[in-house]
Structure 1
Amino acid sequence: MPTPILPPLFAATLGLLLVPAAHAQQYQKTATGLQLSTDSLTVQVQFYSPDIVRVVKFLKGAEKEHKSLVVVQTPAPGKLKYASKDGFISLSSNSTEVRIDPKTGQVRFLTAKNQPLISEKASGSRFTAKQDLGAATYRVRQLFQLAPNEAVYGLGQHQDGHLNYRGQKVLLKQRNLDIAVPVLHSGKGYGLFWDNYSTTQFADSDQGTLFDSEVGDCADYYLLNGGGTADGVVAQYRNLTGQAPMFPRWTLGFWQSKERYRGQDELLDVVKKYRALGVPLDGIVQDWQYWGENNDYWNSTEFGNPRFPDPQGMVDEVHKLNAHQIISVWPSFGKKTKAYQEFASKDMLFDFITWPRTPHVKVYDAFDPEARDIYWSYLNKNIFRLGMDGWWLDATEPDQLQPFDTDDDNETALGSFRRVRNAYPLMSTTGVYKHQRETSEAKRVFILTRSAFAGQQRNATMVWSGDVNSRWDVLAKQPAAALNLSLAGFPYWNSDIGGFFPYGEYPKGVKDPAFQELFTRWQQFAALTPMMRAHGENTPREIYQFGEKGSWAFDAQKKFVDLRYRLQPYLYANAWGVTSRAGTLMRALPMDFPTDPKVVDMGSEYMFGPALLVRPVVEAQYVNRPDKNQPVPPNFSTTKTTEVYLPAGTSWVDFWTGKRHNGGQTVQRQTPIDLMPLYVRAGSVLPLGPLQQYTGEKPDAPLEIRVYPGANGEFMLYEDENDNYNYEKGAYATIRLRWNDKARQLTIDNRAGSFPGMQQQRTFRVVLVDEQHGTGVGEGTEPAKEVRYTGKKLLVKL
């Protein structure tokens, strides 16, 4: 694979620091902005839209095109105004102004109303000459200046427990537990995307805010003007890098998995057991070694394991049980697999140690388009043709278990692995998404994967937080990790319920009260995340392993699985908001309460969609085990409490009791083992579906519409065919629900749109929530106004 040849460097001095030039250079207008030169730099400013500005800086004489792997937007700058004032060159759209110092190349950003957004530090661009696979390039650093007390978020997913990254350092390098997304999201309502794919150090200190990348031919970044709102920042990021498509509706249900089912009979028995017990289930996951246990055949994508004698029959049986299946596929292949042999013959394999620990397993070059074609060819002919419903693309970092200095010297189709390593998950998922869309539009792409990069949301990927440990302190860090990924623009996240690695902490496994408590609390949290999926090794995770129906562990877990299914209309409508309006489902509190100073760095709570405030219980309350060999017998019938902050600016209704609270205060909420604090914002209109065993079991069942008085509000119901791409052609329907608090009236507007198979008539049971009515998971017991809806506007007085 050839290494790109870079042009000779101009003044390639190690540690070259850019200093002010002796005089200004004339700038040149371009179709999208301008270009100017200082004595040391070439600076390009390009408006991609009135709200998105790209800045590219080269050492003078070393200019070359930098083609982004991430950006998909075509520049459409609109009308631009040029001016010179106070020694600066000014370039502005109707919303964003850029000021450039023609002597130094320093760039500043302001709103059209002259409000500062962010500025580069004077002399903040630095290029250090270096060699990369024998080619001349640079280490690239750019220093910015933030405002005092400005909060910043994003940067992907990191297991450090931080929400606000002021004063912090974050290494942006893809690893098992860390997802590197170089998108900085400011509490002032703007974002910054640093378009570099090498390992990058982010650091914020008194000296400024730094992006420091190992390899780059230029400094290349984008200013995202969100108009002062967090949702605006995410919208501009998605405009620039791609929108997130819809997942199949069934993915919103409950998923069961573990560190591999050892045969198809075991897998099918799990689904049958859930059906027999009446516990809802939509997804079952087959982890590794369905190909066999010899690592020479690692990830063959073929069912070489004799315990899987009839893979077609297995998939068909899962479907007959009204469930769906996804399967684990890796980017690495054993030396005796057909894929390995084909990749090796074309020099498309990397030479570093990955899982499993053997030199005979190697990772394919996802940066090579032909290699992506080959990868899909094996997935398609061996797996997708069976009717498999989705992909678990594991280890898309790819994780290097023994990180030698030479690992980054592997050559890819785009240069050294060092140069592009962070973009590997983007390229690998791009190949699978693109090829499945080309193969069939009848089944929506669903990819569960362990890593992500900027732009990957366009590839129908759901990330999980990696192989986390089964500990309370790890659970406590999951919400902040997820929220920063959301603030970096990535909408879909989940974690292994119970943690992946028990590591001998629970000698009695699922019968250990300590693990039972941790798993139950983790599952409650997972029910209010984009994907609810039990998974882990050693200790089984199926609900019936924890006890029989009627035991506290079984009943507490089923309660939240049932809650998940009741919330499906709410979840699916919010998923449509992600796709159609660049929405965010798992929302850090500063997104919705930007003027409340108490939530600036609060990573323990979040909004789930516009209505629900979630406060996971992330500390042991019942099993106190200072010595794990001498557990204290727990009494799960006692009631504990958890502190919950209710954000200011609205009132809140307890989901479980209907009790109302004013915002701007901290309350002590009782948290028995079967309850997690959950509050509903006043004015919310919350649609709930029926209790059911799988998604779509009861298409004709009434929908319950809960109205939480105290403010005006509305909600947009969304429906389509659930698992194809006809919605992209307009085959969907929406129904707007509007609550007038003063008039005590719910308006159900005319249905907009249609699709094949649509229910022409619906029954709505409308409930006004108070301390006696419309609380908890139950259905069908509250006094309600029941109306028959035929698609025409209805007024419901409460």
Structure 2
Amino acid sequence: MKTIVVVALLCALFAGCSPKGYQADESGVTVFPKQTTENGAKAVRVMPVSDEIIRVSASATGQFSADSSLIALPEDKQVEFTTSEDDQVVKVATASTTVEISKENGVVRFFDQDGNEILAGAENGTTMKPMEVDGVKAFELQQVFDSSDDEALYGLGQHQADEMNYKGKNEELFQYNTKVSVPFILSTQNYGILWDNYSLSRFGDPRPYGQMDQFIQYGKDGKEGGLTATYIDDSRKGHVFVERQEPTIDYENLETINKFPEGFSFDHAQITWEGDIEAQENGVFNFLLYYAGYTKLYIDGQLMVDKWRTAWNPSVAKFQVDMKAGQRFHVKLDWIPDGGVSYIGLKALSPVDPEQQKHISFYSEMGNQIDYYFMKGSSMDDVISRYRELTGKAQVMPKWAMGFWQSRERYKTQDELEGALKEFRKRHIPIDNIVMDWSYWKVDQWGSHEFDPARFTDPEAMIKTVHDNNAHILISVWPKFYPNTEHYKEFDKNGWMYQQAIKDSILDWIYPGHLGSFYDAYSPGARKLFWKQIDEKLYSKGIDAWWLDATEPDILSNASVEYRKKLMNPTALGSSTQYFNAFALMNAKGIYEGQRAKNPVDRVFILTRSGFAGMQRYGTTTWSGDIGTCWEDLEAQIPAGINFSMSGLPYWTMDIGGFSVQKKFENAKEGSEEMAEWRELNTRWYQFGAFVPLFRVHGQYPYREIYNLAPESHPAYQSMLYYNKLRYHLMPYIYSLTGAVYHHDYTMMRGLAMDFASDKRVLNIDDQFMFGPSLMVCPVYHFKDRQRDVYFPNSGGWYNLYTGKYMAGGQKQSVDAPYERMPLFVREGSIIPVGPEIEYAAEKPDAPLDLYVYAGKDASFELYEDENTNYNYENGAFSTIQFNYNEADKKLTIQAREGEFPGMVANRKFRVIVVSRDNAVPFLDSDVSGKEIDYNGEKVEVSL
């Protein structure tokens, strides 16, 4: 049961009992507003966590929960602050932040040390509506803030609707395959808000999307009552199975698909909804299309959506329509299911006042009280540093994790896995990691964590082969167990298995269907047992890294949210309604803490399909789930990855090429248009994938090794090989970024607003980003495109990486994008350290390094080095070398090395290559000469 601490005497429930209307103690101030609405705050508590981080809680009862946060680390330090008051407000001031709480209504406002307002709660913006679930009384919660017209907002995790700037937008926050919700926003005004709640939440409009019957609807024939739904069960013959009017299009989950016409076959189906809709009020309607299969939606003949997703894993698209009451809009939704039962739905949110839509709003379905953290800084990086101060440091990933990851769904035998790695080595294709995906166990032994001996005759020898080939192995470990496994029985006897799926006889998709469920990761004992089992069965064999799949948790794919809650209810902490979103955080916590306790030396590496605020402290990288092999999903990954990174979680990746394959690609013939598109899609995705934090290929058949994608002579093969090698040449740059992630709370994959916020033209750019401080990445995401528009931020000039040619900033240009190359540009005033050609990350540690200096402005870079695989850097075992270039005197200073570690290369050779407006130097040009420097750790100045 929940523990409730009374922070004020019972009389404090009534403002009149406290002469001042507030109480102060060593941790903060509690204000009891004079005026309270029915569902408003009876008490508001402000607690400084640091000079720049302020925790705010609001209670509907005057009492505050003592439950520990799952997101924030324990508040174990005393922060100096002062308290003062006037007739209107109580003020809490740290050295750099002042918070004002209205005595009248409890509204909270935040100011900097100069008295400038940063953020303010909206009037009547705090709402706590009583609710009850599973016999537990709690509250629906909403907190609204005013938002300035000129700010942009980022974060909220990883979503798939092609949205970048969330200012004025709506996003539902729950976990789903390809959707990762993180309740954090980052503002261009250099503040952030972390909403500390684990239930289903909403950013923006707190209402759920409504059905289409909110409109007056007319069929194709003009008859009122619904759109005309035409069901063709054999598109080859055009046979109409049934035609009927439908006032709603709601086939989004396993329950609602039962409303499809009885007996209708989806194998060669095509369904069209068509007619007119008429709004009953004026304003902008926000539409949400939930789709699988091939889907096109038109409004008045304008194509609003053109998408594909595999039948079993739907996605969403959003669009807006400005409507007038009484005006008809023609709607046509063409849908081709992707074989078997598919999912589709169309919903809308009716208009709200435009000023209200501009507000920042967080809503949550269930909580004991409102809890959020305000944090500020002098930059967006500064704010993310505060976020990690609050929720935990992100580690330096092992250097091998920054190399190439080869995976497929799946290597079915020991020979297949070993053979793939050996083929990479034979062809001299750089690689560091090979992946063992799911179902390496016997078909009826999910959760045993034991290799099927018929297919994996000697797992220890297989792992040794991987290690002997200078590579590492990651293995898939689900939180799922079949009841006939000993592991299930160990959990079950302690009450640590979710039982609903067992009670309801839910069978999975493994032929002929097997009963199973998930363990309760919210239980500390269950987490320890989960680690103990994989330690005994896998870690002891030499496994290097963990792939934690389906951690939403996806106990039953395509179940409704309500049934998903039942399937994971109750948790050890309470109702699944209250703890719906944090399973992945708890699951990763158990693996991280278990491995570090067992082996405190080697760095933990976890790849997880879901995530939450605070995940970064557990050695995690999140990938974007089972996305589709289509251009629109490639495009959607760009803002998805950027916003995830700007949510404070620095390590992100995706399935290069897409996971689920369109049928047209499955058996594409050599020389066909389908094969040409398949190769180009993978090539473009590979180019993009080389510049996200983790460089990782994965997907269903066709096989994803580059030698299976195209022959060696093909431009697709040559391009993929080029970018693989380019990634490894950049390893000194990339590994330094991972060092900065830990030591400076840096973000590797950066929305342009992080570095160019003063240039308002970058705020909504969703298809360009910075990879580190120097490289601007401009992916190509349309078939047969050989040019694309690029905006060059106005903070200075830019150099084409491949040619060295200079481009002035502050302009948009159409740039060349040949098949083999993705546009890449280097920021003027950059230093990029470049290593030799290598085939794995730790190869040739003492090789000379090239320093590419992109002149025109002053430049700097910090080269970071450590022991690559252990945690000694946490205790100071690392070194940095600072490079500084001064444009005025054309001088490069290599500062004295700081720090040391065992095995450090003490003496280095650097070659300095200058790229300038008058000296265009192609990157990695073998003919270029440079100034060579012998460096022994002492300061060196070089005139260029």
Q: TM-score, normalised by structure 1?
A: 0.93
Detail structure 1 runs of 4+ shifted over 6 Å in the superposition: 5-8, 18-24, 771-774
SS at match of 1:569: helix
Instruction: Name the residue aligned to 1:371.
Output: 526
Instruction: Name the residue aligned to 1:631.
Output: none
In the alignment, residue 239 of structure 1 is paired with which amino acid?
A: E
Contact 1:700 1:762 in 2 (8 A): yes
Please report how far the alpha carbon of residue 66 of structure 1 lies from its aligned counterpart in structure 2 after TM superposition.
3.3
Q: Structure 1 residues 677, 19: closer, same or farther in 2, change over 3 A? A: farther
In the alignment, residue 562 of structure 2 is paired with which amino acid?
A: D
Please report how far the alpha carbon of residue 732 of structure 1 lies from its aligned counterpart in structure 2 after TM superposition.
1.2
Contact 1:45 1:53 in 2 (8 A): yes
Please report how far the alpha carbon of residue 135 of structure 1 lies from its aligned counterpart in structure 2 after TM superposition.
1.7
Instruction: Name the residue aligned to 1:63.
Output: 64
In 2, distance between residues paired with 1:726 and 1:5?
39
Instruction: Name the residue aligned to 2:654.
Output: 495
Please report how far the alpha carbon of residue 776 of structure 1 lies from its aligned counterpart in structure 2 after TM superposition.
4.8
Contact 1:177 1:467 in 2 (8 A): yes
SS at match of 1:753: coil
In the alignment, residue 31 of structure 2 is paired with which amino acid?
A: L
Contact 1:510 1:545 in 2 (8 A): no
In the alignment, residue 340 of structure 1 is paired with which amino acid?
A: Y
In the alignment, residue 35 of structure 1 is paired with which amino acid?
A: T
Q: Structure 1 residues 707, 19: closer, same or farther in 2, change over 3 A? A: farther
Please report how far the alpha carbon of residue 84 of structure 1 lies from its aligned counterpart in structure 2 after TM superposition.
2.1
Instruction: Name the residue aligned to 1:217.
Output: 368
In 2, distance between residues paired with 1:173 and 1:322?
39
**Are 1:388 and 2:543 an aligned pair?**
yes
TM alignment of 1:532-681, pairs within 5 A: 532-621=695-784, 640-681=786-827
**Are 1:766 and 2:896 an aligned pair?**
no
User: Please, which moves more after superposition, 571-580 or 779-788?
Assistant: 779-788
CA deviation profile, 1:302-337 (whole Å, cap 9, x unmatched) = 112511110000000011111111000001111122
Instruction: Name the residue aligned to 2:289.
Output: none
In the alignment, residue 411 of structure 2 is paired with which amino acid?
A: Y
Match of 1:529 among 680, 685, 692: 692
User: Please, which moves more after superposition, 708-717 or 39-48?
Assistant: 39-48
Contact 2:58 2:370 in 1 (8 A): yes
Q: Structure 1 residues 120, 759: closer, same or farther in 2, change over 3 A? A: same
User: Please, which moves more after superposition, 73-82 or 201-210?
Assistant: 73-82
In 1, distance between residues paired with 2:32 and 2:833?
58
In 2, distance between residues paired with 1:61 and 1:567?
56
Instruction: Name the residue aligned to 1:403.
Output: 560
Contact 1:138 1:217 in 2 (8 A): yes
User: Please, which moves more after superposition, 504-513 or 21-30?
Assistant: 21-30
Instruction: Name the residue aligned to 1:30.
Output: 25
Instruction: Name the residue aligned to 2:615.
Output: 456
Instruction: Name the residue aligned to 1:482.
Output: 641
Match of 1:707 among 828, 835, 853: 853
**Are 1:248 and 2:398 an aligned pair?**
yes
Instruction: Name the residue aligned to 2:112.
Output: 111
Instruction: Name the residue aligned to 1:342.
Output: 490
SS at match of 1:480: helix
Please report how far the alpha carbon of residue 64 of structure 1 lies from its aligned counterpart in structure 2 after TM superposition.
2.8
Q: Structure 1 residues 786, 56: closer, same or farther in 2, change over 3 A? A: same
TM alignment of 1:715-730, pairs within 5 A: 715-730=861-876
TM alignment of 1:190-205, pairs within 5 A: 190-203=191-204
Q: Structure 1 residues 265, 318: closer, same or farther in 2, change over 3 A? A: same
TM alignment of 1:76-475, pairs within 5 A: 76=77, 78-85=79-86, 87-203=88-204, 206-207=355-356, 208-227=359-378, 229-294=379-444, 297-352=445-500, 356-357=508-509, 360-399=515-554, 400-401=556-557, 402-403=559-560, 405-409=562-566, 410-475=569-634
SS at match of 1:269: helix
Aligned length: 768
Contact 1:73 1:242 in 2 (8 A): no
User: Please, which moves more after superposition, 205-214 or 781-790?
Assistant: 205-214
In 2, distance between residues paired with 1:510 and 1:645?
38
Instruction: Name the residue aligned to 1:635.
Output: none
Contact 2:856 2:917 in 1 (8 A): no
Please report how far the alpha carbon of residue 419 of structure 1 lies from its aligned counterpart in structure 2 after TM superposition.
0.9
SS at match of 1:572: helix
Please report how far the alpha carbon of residue 770 of structure 1 lies from its aligned counterpart in structure 2 after TM superposition.
4.5
SS at match of 1:222: strand
Q: Structure 1 residues 210, 394: closer, same or farther in 2, change over 3 A? A: same
In the alignment, residue 497 of structure 1 is paired with which amino acid?
A: I
Which 5+ residue runs of structure 1 have no aligned equivalent?
11-17, 623-639
Please report how far the alpha carbon of residue 251 of structure 1 lies from its aligned counterpart in structure 2 after TM superposition.
0.8
User: Please, which moves more after superposition, 526-535 or 548-557?
Assistant: 548-557
Contact 1:422 1:453 in 2 (8 A): yes
Contact 1:773 1:782 in 2 (8 A): no
Please report how far the alpha carbon of residue 152 of structure 1 lies from its aligned counterpart in structure 2 after TM superposition.
1.1
Please report how far the alpha carbon of residue 681 of structure 1 lies from its aligned counterpart in structure 2 after TM superposition.
0.8
Q: Structure 1 residues 277, 177: closer, same or farther in 2, change over 3 A? A: same
In 2, distance between residues paired with 1:407 and 1:56?
29
Q: Structure 1 residues 22, 435: closer, same or farther in 2, change over 3 A? A: closer
CA deviation profile, 1:458-513 (whole Å, cap 9, x unmatched) = 00101101100111111111111111111110101011000001131314459511
Higher-Rg member (1/2): 2
Contact 1:56 1:218 in 2 (8 A): yes
CA deviation profile, 1:70-93 (whole Å, cap 9, x unmatched) = 111525454323222361112211
In 1, distance between residues paired with 2:447 and 2:355?
48
Please report how far the alpha carbon of residue 272 of structure 1 lies from its aligned counterpart in structure 2 after TM superposition.
0.6
SS at match of 1:119: strand
Please report how far the alpha carbon of residue 355 of structure 1 lies from its aligned counterpart in structure 2 after TM superposition.
8.7
Q: Structure 1 residues 784, 731: closer, same or farther in 2, change over 3 A? A: same
User: Please, which moves more after superposition, 149-158 or 62-71?
Assistant: 62-71
Q: Structure 1 residues 510, 535: closer, same or farther in 2, change over 3 A? A: farther
SS at match of 2:633: helix
RMSD of aligned Cα (Å): 2.2
In 1, distance between residues paired with 2:412 and 2:490?
28
Contact 2:14 2:32 in 1 (8 A): no
Instruction: Name the residue aligned to 2:887.
Output: 741
SS at match of 2:581: helix
Please report how far the alpha carbon of residue 780 of structure 1 lies from its aligned counterpart in structure 2 after TM superposition.
4.3
In the alignment, residue 344 of structure 1 is paired with which amino acid?
A: D
In 1, distance between residues paired with 2:886 and 2:924?
26
In 1, distance between residues paired with 2:60 and 2:463?
57
Please report how far the alpha carbon of residue 6 of structure 1 lies from its aligned counterpart in structure 2 after TM superposition.
7.2
Please report how far the alpha carbon of residue 668 of structure 1 lies from its aligned counterpart in structure 2 after TM superposition.
1.6
Contact 1:520 1:553 in 2 (8 A): yes
Instruction: Name the residue aligned to 1:14.
Output: none
SS at match of 1:505: helix
Contact 2:751 2:770 in 1 (8 A): yes
Please report how far the alpha carbon of residue 137 of structure 1 lies from its aligned counterpart in structure 2 after TM superposition.
1.2
User: Please, which moves more after superposition, 449-458 or 394-403?
Assistant: 394-403
Q: Structure 1 residues 538, 34: closer, same or farther in 2, change over 3 A? A: same
Match of 1:692 among 817, 838, 845: 838
SS at match of 2:460: helix
Contact 2:690 2:727 in 1 (8 A): yes
SS at match of 1:397: coil
Contact 2:141 2:366 in 1 (8 A): yes
Which 5+ residue runs of structure 2 have no aligned equivalent?
37-41, 206-353
User: Please, which moves more after superposition, 470-479 or 365-374?
Assistant: 470-479
